[in-house]
Structure 1
Amino acid sequence: MLTHACPILPSTNFKATKKFYNNLGFEFGSEYPEQGYLILHRNNIELHFFKSPQHVAETSDHGVFIRTEDVDSLSKEYSALNLPADGIPRFTQAENKPWGVCELAVVDTDGNLLRIGQIMDT
């Protein structure tokens, strides 16, 4: 039976990745320098990163959707980080989408997209 998914995203610099995600409330899980692998977590969410020094943030097509039970609180928390609304990295506050989800978006320093949301009450 399936229980969790752990997206694997590129990172050009593990130190920068850890710092960025620490600001998003993610904690260090483990790092395997020889294998070029990093694991961060927040609550039950694990994000895995592989070392990719040649990765270009502006052309990244990596992303993940994460469900939450309180997108508004998370949006307020991330708003306080004062990330820009454009460019890389960036943050878009939570808003209701036509597909029935209220979601926010964060793009990290490597151009990885995190869409975080909850299903709207009908």
Structure 2
Amino acid sequence: MVLIRACPILPSSDFETTKKFYSDLGFEFGSEYLEEGYLILHRDKIELHFFKSPQHVAETSDHGVFVRVDDASVLSNEYKALNLPVEGIPRFTEAENKPWGICELAVIDTDGNLIRVGHIMDT
């Protein structure tokens, strides 16, 4: 059996800012390739890849990813304790049960990338 995992590739206007923001979210440094303009961060089995995009405008970003977890509420409580803003960029929206059967939270990072995190609700 082959293990298949997806690793989203998102823009970063500044790798140091990206590393700091995601470090606060529990992500660890994986590797950085300065000449290629590439950064890898990870938390548990999730890898987020970033490409250097100095001209990227956070307010017009249309990049995002959905991360499936066992319990979005637990992660939501962890992120809530960080006192992230609830408006603007960056921002955090607490986990809530959505009508489509997913309990999900949302984080917008410093580059406007949307990170949705959720789990399927019991029916």
Normalised to the residue count of structure 1, the TM-score between the two structures is 0.98
CA distance in 2, matches of 1:95, 1:22: 24
Q: State the SS of the aligned residue for 1:84.
A: coil
Cα shift readout 1:20-77 (whole Å, capped 9, x = no counterpart): 0000000000000000000000000000000000000000000000000011110000
2:41 counterpart of 1:63? no
Cα shift readout 1:61-113 (whole Å, capped 9, x = no counterpart): 00000000011110000001111111000000000001100000000000000
CA distance in 1, matches of 2:62, 2:81: 26
Residue 117 of structure 2 aligns with which residue? Answer: 116
Deviation at 1:2, TM superposition (A): 5.9
RMSD: 0.7
2:29 counterpart of 1:28? yes
Normalised to the residue count of structure 2, the TM-score between the two structures is 0.97
CA distance in 1, matches of 2:100, 2:23: 30
**For 1:12-27, what aligned pairs fall within 5 Å after superposition?**
12-27=13-28
Residue 81 of structure 1 aligns with which residue? Answer: 82
Identity in percent: 76
CA distance in 2, matches of 1:96, 1:51: 35
Residue 5 of structure 2 aligns with which residue? Answer: 4
CA distance in 2, matches of 1:99, 1:7: 23
Name segments (4+ residues, structure 1) moved above 4 Å: none
